[in-house]
Amino acid sequence: MVVTLEETRRSAPLFARSERPAVRFPIQAVVIDWERLIANRPVVLQTLDAMPGYLLKPEVLALLDAEKEPMYRLIYDLMWTTGARVSEVLALTPASFVDDGYDFGVILKTLKQRPGRPSKAALQRSPKRYVPLVDTLVKDRIQSYLWAGKYRQDARLFPVTRQTVNRHIRALVQRVGGAPFRISSHTFRHSFAIHLLLHGRPLKYVSQLLGHRSVDSTEIYSQVLTMDGTHFLDGVDFH
């Protein structure tokens, strides 16, 4: 018996999963001289008044490795890998995480920095944004934390305030030998934005992940690329 294509379509389940196309972002690999960028940072911060202090990947990883308390380690990991404000991380519940079998991510409620934990009214009126979590180590850490805590779906995961997190960060920085500028929870957010731009990700996309109303708010981070722009001229011959 010959089965037609139309008959095959009719017999297939309505919500059957199809194979994902093998399409990847055009940039496959980026080589970054971290030591050079770290050495260049004082010039960036001295010449660009609006540029906030930021860390680069080796420095962030050193801080993360030095943190031994699982709750704070996960808070820092989430700020570093999603660009979330600390208030947005402190508002997370188990229901904030999405796993559809293909992708894993988190739904953040866009909240501005305010003292303490966000109020229920602020949570209800805040817009939401989805941020993919592609780091398998962070995914495993989130799932282990949720399993160990046995939280209700609507329970806050981190029963601390923004001030407490920042005090903990200051103590952590001191334990690892200090830093050339003040590091706070917001430093992880700045570092996330610069990390994506260093890897060639579009400014508009980075702006959306950060929850900025306008790409103009994200533009300042791109100055890191132009201040250390020598690598953009590699391979360009004038004679």
> Active-site residue 186, yes or no?
yes
> Active-site residue 139, yes or no?
no
Q: How many residues does the chain have?
A: 239
Task: Identify the active-site residue in 41, 189, 190, 195.
Answer: 189
Count CB atoms within 10 A of the CB of residue 27. Answer: 9
What is the token pair recorded at 238? 């004038």
How far is Cα 130 from Cα 237, in angstroms, rounded to an integer? 43
> Are 176 and 197 contacting, i.e. CB atoms less than 8 angstroms apart?
no
How far is Cα 101 from Cα 112, in angstroms, rounded to an integer? 31
> Active-site residue 189, yes or no?
yes
How far is Cα 138 from Cα 227, in angstroms, rounded to an integer? 31
> Active-site residue 112, yes or no?
no
> Active-site residue 120, yes or no?
no
Task: Identify the active-site residue in 85, 117, 190, 195.
Answer: 85
> Active-site residue 190, yes or no?
no
Task: Identify the active-site residue in 117, 186, 190, 195.
Answer: 186
Task: Identify the active-site residue in 109, 117, 190, 195.
Answer: 109
> Are 165 and 184 contacting, i.e. CB atoms less than 8 angstroms apart?
no
What is the token pair recorded at 37? 């960028």
Catalytic residue numbers, as ranges? 85, 109, 186, 189, 212, 221
